[in-house]
């Protein structure tokens, strides 16, 4: 089956998010779409999936123009989609989520989940997915949640599968597994649209590449092109994929963590007996597979974790539980792992999001009054500096593309005077150009004598930025190793294998 888009145009007010886009995806190919943050990739795919309606243009399947007004129409036409932000209902089970919108009944009004269960098991077995149909979605790790979305598409017999940044939240192993499964589906004749910012994956999996810039198709590329070539096609300028940095100039010990244990509210231990020191002018990267206690550790440092034993001090001052404001004002910049949940208020304007933790300090507050001018002035500076692509800083943050949301959080946290930067997955969802910028910025922070504590599941990022690497596994630092440790060794450590 083939999917063909002709002249798709979508405007949001004055902004043209998709500008007369033509795209053809054939059965049995993986078609990668590359483009900067805000280029219009998600918008285009949401149109195909019936979540947005195009202002102009047609969508045809197998040469026949079809009318897609809702995801149900899309599914009926054989188009399935896995979103950048998952669209599952957390309190429903896997099976319930999958039948949603297609509920079958048996007898007078009883939901028939049995068929769905069988189907889930079948697909799950075929692709090694290991998904329990009766598990609650909220209890599942993101990697598995994503499989649920894929299963949903497959059960409805999707012949075109759209994957919007599917690997952003996956571990390297999960990513490899996904890429393998994508190829398997392709070989069975599925047409796959694959959106990603990771050029390595494009090179591994893609058969064709289309590049979008500022809403328009600017060209195609072959997967044999080098990563540098792809990057510059995407961004429109040469991008350096390595980070240049000089040897660190270490200062005093800045952050000191002693015998830290963190529990959840049920008393389960999430972080076990961690002690470390971070010096001024140093980047300590905490590597590890997601879910090994990194987010809890990061949160504890700004006082966001409630049940902790041990001591955390910044320049000798203890950081107290619950005193987040004090921690931030003592000079910590904090980039939380989940921008949607913890980093942004999506109904607030971009402007307001840029002062979330500074709104009651000068220059933004004059006494009890927020100075609208100062807020607007700050926003216009940050938008330029961090290249936040938005129509107006007064727009709601929810209208931003995924990567631009992340840039708002980074812009806020990295542009006030701090001593220490604590950043979790700071470049998740960013395009290569923006990653380059953020990395340079982090190194600049380090070189101006700040401490940087970086949490990342991306080995590339860890290796590029770190002066020292701590590997976290099941709540512990199982090793703290120098920056030049080999990838293989780091990989083993992340899997919990000690020499």
Partner 1 sequence: MKKFLSKITLPALAFTMALFVSGILVAISDSKVLALKSSPLSMLAEAFSTAGSAYWALFRGSIFDPELAKANFIEGFYPLSETIVAASPLILTGLSVALAFKAGLFNIGAQGQFIAGAIGASFVGFHFELPIVIHSIAAIAAALVCAGLYGGFVGFLKARTGAHEVIVTIMLNYVAGYFLLWILSTSPFLRPGRQDPLAPEVRMSSRLPHLFGSELRANLGFFIALLAAVGIWWLLNRSTWGFKFRAVGANAAASKTAGISVGRSTTTVMFIAGALAGLGGAVQILGSEPALTAGVGGTFGFDAITVALLGRGTPLGTVFAALLFGALRAGGLTMQASTETPLDLILVIQALVVLFIAAPALIKAIFRLKNVDEGEALASKGWNG
Strand residue runs (E) in 62-135: 64-66, 79-82, 105-106, 110-111
Interaction of residue 414 with partner 1, rule CB under 8 A: no
Whole-angstrom distance, CA of residue 53 vs CA of residue 68: 8
Is 190 or 401 the residue whose CB approaches Mg ion more closely?
Answer: 401
Least spacing, CB of residue 32 vs ligand ATP, in Å: 13
**Contacted by 400, from partner 1, Mg ion, ligand ATP, none: CB < 5 to 8 Å by type:** ligand ATP
Convert 149-163 to b/e letters by CB count within 10 Å (16 or more is b): bbbbbbbbebbbbbb
Instruction: Answer for the pair 446, 280: CB distance below 8 angstroms, yes or no.
Output: no
**Contacted by 342, from ligand ATP, Mg ion, partner 1, none: CB < 5 to 8 Å by type:** partner 1
Interaction of residue 86 with ligand ATP, rule CB under 6 A: no
Binding span for partner 1 by CB under 8 A among 86-94, 145-153, 333-341, 461-469: 333-341
Chain-centre distance for alpha carbon 247: 30
Is 96 or 337 the residue whose CB approaches ligand ATP more closely?
Answer: 337
Strand residue runs (E) in 349-459: 365-366, 369-370, 420-424, 451-456
Least spacing, CB of residue 359 vs partner 1, in Å: 5
**Contacted by 39, from ligand ATP, partner 1, Mg ion, none: CB < 5 to 8 Å by type:** ligand ATP
Closest alpha carbon to 35 in 27, 44, 26:
44
Instruction: Answer for the pair 434, 440: CB distance below 8 angstroms, yes or no.
Output: no
Least spacing, CB of residue 85 vs ligand ATP, in Å: 10
Whole-angstrom distance, CA of residue 19 vs CA of residue 214: 8
Whole-angstrom distance, CA of residue 493 vs CA of residue 68: 48
Instruction: Answer for the pair 265, 425: CB distance below 8 angstroms, yes or no.
Output: no
Q: In what order do the strands lie in the sheet with 269-279?
A: 269-279, 253-263, 307-314, 317-318
Interaction of residue 349 with ligand ATP, rule CB under 6 A: no
Least spacing, CB of residue 166 vs Mg ion, in Å: 12
| Separation of first and last alpha carbons in the chain | 50
Binding span for Mg ion by CB under 5 A among 108-116, 338-346, 394-402, 417-425: 394-402
Strand residue runs (E) in 354-495: 365-366, 369-370, 420-424, 451-456, 468-473, 476-482
Interaction of residue 357 with partner 1, rule CB under 8 A: yes
Is 24 or 307 the residue whose CB approaches partner 1 more closely?
Answer: 307
CA within 13 Å, CB half, 32: 29
Interaction of residue 38 with ligand ATP, rule CB under 6 A: yes
**Contacted by 399, from Mg ion, partner 1, ligand ATP, none: CB < 5 to 8 Å by type:** ligand ATP
Instruction: Answer for the pair 30, 37: CB distance below 8 angstroms, yes or no.
Output: no
Least spacing, CB of residue 398 vs ligand ATP, in Å: 7
Interaction of residue 193 with ligand ATP, rule CB under 6 A: no
Element (H, E) at 120: helix 114-126
Interaction of residue 381 with partner 1, rule CB under 8 A: no
Residue of 206, 328, 420, 422 interacting with partner 1 (CB under 8 A)? 328
Interaction of residue 76 with partner 1, rule CB under 8 A: no
Residue of 133, 143, 343, 402 interacting with Mg ion (CB under 5 A)? 402
Binding span for partner 1 by CB under 8 A among 26-34, 95-103, 254-262, 320-328: 320-328
Count of residues near ligand ATP by CB under 6 A: 20
Interaction of residue 370 with partner 1, rule CB under 8 A: yes
Is 36 or 282 the residue whose CB approaches Mg ion more closely?
Answer: 36
| Angle in degrees, CA 382, 400, 370, rounded to 5 | 50
Torsion of CA 465, 468, 473, 477, to 10 degrees: -150
Interaction of residue 369 with partner 1, rule CB under 8 A: yes
What residues form DSSP beta bridges with 472?
Answer: 477
Least spacing, CB of residue 393 vs ligand ATP, in Å: 12
Where does this chain bind partner 1 (CB under 8 A)?
302, 304, 324-329, 334, 336, 341-348, 352, 356-357, 359-360, 365, 368-370, 372
Where does this chain bind Mg ion (CB under 5 A)?
42, 84, 401-402
Where does this chain bind ligand ATP (CB under 6 A)?
12, 15, 17, 35, 37-43, 84, 389-390, 399-404
């Amino acid at each position: 089956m083939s999917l063909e888009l002709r002249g798709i145009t979508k405007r949001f007010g004055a902004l043209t998010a998709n500008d007369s886009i033509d795209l053809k995806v054939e059965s049995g190919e993986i078609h990668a779409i590359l483009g900067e943050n805000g280029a219009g990739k998600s918008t285009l795919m949401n149109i195909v999936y019936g979540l947005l309606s195009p202002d102009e243009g047609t969508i045809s399947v197998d040469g026949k123009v079809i009318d897609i007004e809702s995801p149900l129409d899309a599914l009926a036409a054989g188009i399935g989609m896995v979103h950048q932000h998952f669209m599952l209902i957390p309190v429903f089970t896997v099976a319930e989520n999958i039948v949603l919108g297609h509920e079958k009944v048996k007898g007078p009004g009883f939901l028939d989940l049995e068929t769905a269960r069988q189907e889930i098991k079948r697909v799950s077995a075929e692709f090694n997915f290991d998904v329990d149909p009766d598990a609650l979605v909220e209890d599942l790790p993101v990697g598995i949640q994503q499989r649920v979305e894929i299963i949903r598409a497959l059960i409805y017999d999707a012949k075109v599968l759209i994957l919007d940044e599917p690997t952003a939240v996956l571990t390297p192993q999960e990513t490899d597994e996904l890429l393998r499964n994508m190829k398997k589906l392709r070989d069975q004749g599925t047409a796959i649209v694959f959106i990603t910012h990771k050029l390595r994956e494009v090179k591994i999996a893609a058969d064709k590449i289309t590049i979008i810039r500022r809403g328009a198709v600017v060209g195609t590329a072959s997967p044999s092109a080098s990563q540098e070539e792809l990057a510059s096609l995407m961004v429109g300028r040469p991008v350096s994929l390595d980070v240049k940095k000089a040897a660190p100039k270490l200062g005093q010990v800045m952050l000191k963590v002693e015998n830290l244990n963190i529990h959840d509210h049920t008393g389960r231990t999430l972080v076990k007996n961690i002690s470390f020191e971070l010096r001024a002018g140093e980047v300590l990267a905490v590597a590890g597979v997601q879910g090994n206690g990194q987010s809890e550790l990061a949160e504890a440092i700004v006082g966001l974790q409630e049940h902790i034993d041990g001591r955390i001090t910044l320049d000798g001052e203890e950081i107290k539980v619950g005193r987040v404001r004090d921690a931030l004002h003592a000079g910590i910049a904090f980039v939380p792992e989940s921008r949607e949940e913890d980093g942004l208020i999506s109904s607030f304007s971009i402007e307001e999001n840029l002062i979330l933790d500074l709104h009651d300090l000068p220059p933004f507050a004059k006494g009890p009054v927020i100075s609208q001018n100062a807020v607007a002035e700050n926003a216009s500076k940050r938008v330029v500096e961090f290249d936040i692509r938005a129509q107006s800083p007064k727009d709601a943050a929810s209208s931003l593309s995924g990567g631009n949301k992340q840039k708002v959080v980074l812009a806020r946290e990295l542009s006030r005077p701090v001593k220490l930067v604590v950043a979790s997955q700071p470049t998740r969802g960013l395009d290569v150009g923006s990653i380059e910028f953020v990395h340079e910025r982090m190194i600049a922070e380090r070189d101006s004598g700040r401490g940087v504590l970086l949490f990342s599941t991306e080995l590339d990022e860890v290796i590029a930025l770190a002066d020292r690497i701590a590997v976290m596994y099941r709540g512990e630092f199982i090793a703290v190793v120098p920056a030049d440790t080999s990838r293989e060794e780091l990989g083993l450590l992340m899997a919990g294998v000690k020499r």
